[in-house]
Amino acid sequence: AFGFQDAFWFSVYSLFAGEPIPNAPRTLAGKFVSVFVMFMGLTIFAMFTGTVSAFMVERLRMEGTGMQWDELFNHVIICGWNNKAEIIIREFRASRGFSEKAVAVISQFEGEPPQVAADLRKQMIFLNDDFTRIPALEQAGVHRASTCIILSDRHGGRSEQDADARTILAALTVEKLNPAVYTCAELLNRSYGTHLQVGNVNDFVVSGEYGAYLLAHACMNKGMIGVFSELMTYQHGNGFFRVPLPASWVDRPFVDVLTELKQRHEAILVAAETPQGRMLVNPRDHHFSAGDQLIIIAEREPQLGS
């Protein structure tokens, strides 16, 4: 019959080894060494299993992407993730100029990155990190990127002020790391826009304001939402395009170019942008100069030639 001590060690060996071990040590030190070796064996096995599992999960998560961080070039970086992100990526895929660009997303996800449609996932890569950190931006290839979009991040119960502060910090950091990248930021409060302008951030959008503008127009001009819905997406119908002015159109008046675009290209000229960045919407009297850009509405981007 087993005494208490024998029963105790029998239970310990059974717990760690899964079964009683033959020729069990007789001394107390030997018994402790045996238990330690068994425990280390379990630990090593658990570490090996965890490593393999993590590797397989990462492979499955990245399946279909086929991209590595060091392969990214002329790509788009999206900082933050909210309900607008997937809409933005769908617009890129519907646009001829952005349809082939890879998209790198930097955000602090709670667990696994969000599930997105398979047709979008193929050209996306996720980085679970704080997008205000320089190492995170550098890993996402900010020095090689063409465009950086910074979305308002209110995860973790952040206030609107905190979210805008993070947006401003990230935008200024991106511009410092790569002044050539086109940076567009989402703000919740327009009063902070001056910080972005001083930091030479290319554009910012106050998302809440535009929703209010659309609601006001919908009430004052019934049926206009259908027009906006078509013009604001590349996925169907007509949309806005920005095209360079052909050299042969220099010195021509706005109305002449408008007429030719409609007659020959089924496009409507709505504005002209000067080389200094001044936007002239439906100008009364404007003669085009070299370097001007045309803002047009069309079903597809017209090829105007040189």
8 Å CB contact between 111 and 105:
no
Q: What is the DSSP letter of 156?
A: G
pTM of structure: 0.72
pLDDT for res 71: 85
pLDDT for res 20: 59
pLDDT for res 47: 84
pLDDT tens readout for residues 84-96: 899 999 999 888 8
pLDDT for res 58: 60
Which domains are delineated in the chain? 4-53 (no CATH), 69-211 (3.40.50.720), 238-306 (3.30.70.1450)
pLDDT for res 8: 66
- DSSP string over 178-230: -TTSEEEEEES-GGGHHHHHHTT--EEEEHHHHHHHHHHHHHHSTTHHHHHHH
pLDDT for res 208: 85
pLDDT for res 183: 96
pLDDT for res 146: 95
Q: Which residues of the chain have pLDDT under 70?
A: 1-26, 30-31, 35, 37, 41, 56-66, 306
pLDDT for res 82: 86
